[in-house]
């Protein structure tokens, strides 16, 4: 069964506690927390302070997705805010290996995200050092966009690389995941499904999470 990671970006921030409670009472495995700086991506979300409020509501695994430049400046702040996994973008990190070591030294799991145009081969020399690969299936910055179909091919390639070397890194797919395409994404080799709008715009949010969990 896939790991389900609802994205709080699509939550109602006027009733954040309620939305976190809903996730806590659902089959959701992870909280996916999206951080945007208005520079690496054309949108601004929130920072460590709001993240800490979110993580304080849950015992579930908190997966923080940094869509920011200079993530090294903020790694410690997000560790203190309760991140279990910290994912940085390969496109924002000229010294990626150093970023990964820093995250691990701070006691978190480490993830690397790749944008839709970045080939999976770019991960070849970092894959053994990380816990999560976040394959972006939309251009990062906004919830509610359509899944880019070419991503399926990348997931398959990545899964092959991981299996060939018997690595334990998880493939997370982020952007445009729906009940309709979830099975093809899992069949391609994904371990973790991020879902923002699909969960939070559903009339029965808990039911939708359960349905995503049960698709495989
Ligand atoms: C996009 C974010 C995603 C986003 C997914 O930049 O990284 O996590 O919230 O939202 P949906 O599932 O609505 O595409
Ligand atoms: Zn994300």
Residues 161-188 pLDDT 10s:
999 999 999 999 999 999 999 999 999 9
* CB distance 6 to ligand 1 below 6 Å: no
**CA 146–ligand 1 middle distance (angstroms):** 10
Percentage of the residues of the chain whose pLDDT score is greater than 70:
100
pLDDT digits (tens, 9 = 90+) for 67-123: 999 999 999 999 999 999 999 999 999 999 999 999 999 999 999 999 999 999 999
Q: Is 34 noted as a catalytic residue in this protein?
A: yes
- The pLDDT mean for the chain works out to 98
Q: Is the CB of 212 under 6 A from ligand 1?
A: no
Residue to substitute in 36, 115, 143 for testing ligand 1 pocket (most ligand atoms within 8 angstroms of CB): 143
| SS3 track for the chain | CCEEEEEHHHCCHHHHHHHHHHHHCCCCCEEEEEEEECCCCCCECCCHHHHHHHHCCCCCEEEEEEECCCHHHCHHHHHHCCCCEEEEEHHHCCCHHHHHHHHHHCCCEEEEEECCCCCHHHHCCCHHHCCEEEEECCCCCCCCCCCCCCHHHHHHHHHHHHHHCCCCCEEEEECCCCCCCHHHHHHHCCCEEEECHHHHCCCCHHHHHHHHHCCC
Query: Which pLDDT value is given to residue 54?
Result: 98
CB within 5 A of ion ligand 2: which residues?
34, 65, 174
Catalytic residue (one of 34, 37, 63, 131): 34
Expressed in angstroms and rounded, the spacing between residue 22 Cα and the centre of ligand 1 is 19
Confidence band for 57, pLDDT divided at 50, 70 and 90: very high
pLDDT at 42: 98
Predicted TM-score (pTM) of this structure: 0.98
Determine which one of 29, 63, 131, 174 is catalytic: 174
Q: Give the largest CA-CA distance in the chain.
A: 46
Q: What is the mean pLDDT of residues 134-144?
A: 98
């Amino acid at each position: 069964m896939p790991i389900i990671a609802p994205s709080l970006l699509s939550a109602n921030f006027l009733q954040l506690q309620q939305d976190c409670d809903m996730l806590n009472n659902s089959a959701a495995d992870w909280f996916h927390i999206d951080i945007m700086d208005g520079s690496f991506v054309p949108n601004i979300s929130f920072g460590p302070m709001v993240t800490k409020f979110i993580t304080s509501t849950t015992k579930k695994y908190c997966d923080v997705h940094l869509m920011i430049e200079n993530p090294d400046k903020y790694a410690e702040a997000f560790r203190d805010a309760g991140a279990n996994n910290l994912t940085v973008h390969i496109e924002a990190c000229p010294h990626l290996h150093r970023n990964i070591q820093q995250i691990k030294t701070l006691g978190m799991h480490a993830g690397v995200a790749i944008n839709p145009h970045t080939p999976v081969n770019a991960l070849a020399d970092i894959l053994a050092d990380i816990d999560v690969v976040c394959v972006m299936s939309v251009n990062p910055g906004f919830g509610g966009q359509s899944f880019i179909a070419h991503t399926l091919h990348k997931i398959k390639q990545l899964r092959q690389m991981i299996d060939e070397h018997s690595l334990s890194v998880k493939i997370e797919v982020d952007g445009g995941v729906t009940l309709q395409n979830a099975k093809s994404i899992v069949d391609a080799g994904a371990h973790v499904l991020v879902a923002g709008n699909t969960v939070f715009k559903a009339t029965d949010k808990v039911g939708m999470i359960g349905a995503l969990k049960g698709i495989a």
